[in-house]
Amino acid sequence: MYSLKILSEQEVAGFNEFTFPHYRSVLSKMSLGHRMVAVGAVLLRESVGLVFAELKETLRAAAIRSIAVAPQQRRIGIGTALLQRVELELMTRGCGVAEVIYMAGRPSTPAVESLLRKNGWPTANPRMMICTSDFDLLSRAPWMKLALPPAFEIFLWKELTACERADILECQAREKFFPEVLNPFAHEDLAEPACSFGLRYKGRVVAWCIVQQFDANTLRCGSLFVRKEFEAQGRAIALLARSIYATRDTGRSNFIFDVSFERPRMIRFVQRRMTPYLKSIRITNESRKKLTGECLAA
DSSP type of residue 73 = G
pLDDT value at residue 202: 93
CATH topology of domain 3-126+286-297: Aminopeptidase (3.40.630)
Q: Please say whether the structural domain 130-284 has been given the CATH code 3.40.630.30.
A: yes
CA distance 172 to 22: 28
CA nearest 143: which of 241, 266, 260, 280?
A: 241
pLDDT value at residue 251: 84
- Per-residue model confidence as pLDDT tens digits over 76-109: 999 999 999 999 999 998 999 999 999 999 998 9
232 pLDDT higher than 90? no
CA distance 128 to 115: 21
DSSP type of residue 264 = H
- Per-residue model confidence as pLDDT tens digits over 137-159: 999 999 999 989 999 999 999 99
CA nearest 188: which of 66, 58, 26?
A: 26
- pLDDT band of residue 1 (cuts 50, 70, 90) is confident
Beta-strand (E) ranges in the chain? 3-6, 36-43, 46-55, 61-69, 97-103, 125-134, 152-156, 197-201, 204-215, 218-226, 254-260, 280-290
Which phi and psi (to 5°) does residue 115 adopt? -60, -45
Region(s) of the chain under CATH 3.40.630.30: 3-126+286-297, 130-284
231 pLDDT higher than 70? yes
CA nearest 257: which of 281, 235, 273, 233?
A: 281
- Determine which of 9-18, 102-111, 196-205, 277-286 has the lowest per-residue pLDDT on average: 9-18
CA distance 60 to 94: 6
pLDDT value at residue 57: 72
- pLDDT band of residue 69 (cuts 50, 70, 90) is very high
- What is each CA distance from 104 to 6, 63, 96, 125, in whole angstroms? 29, 17, 26, 10
Determine how many CB atoms are found less than 10 A away from the CB of residue 32. Answer: 12
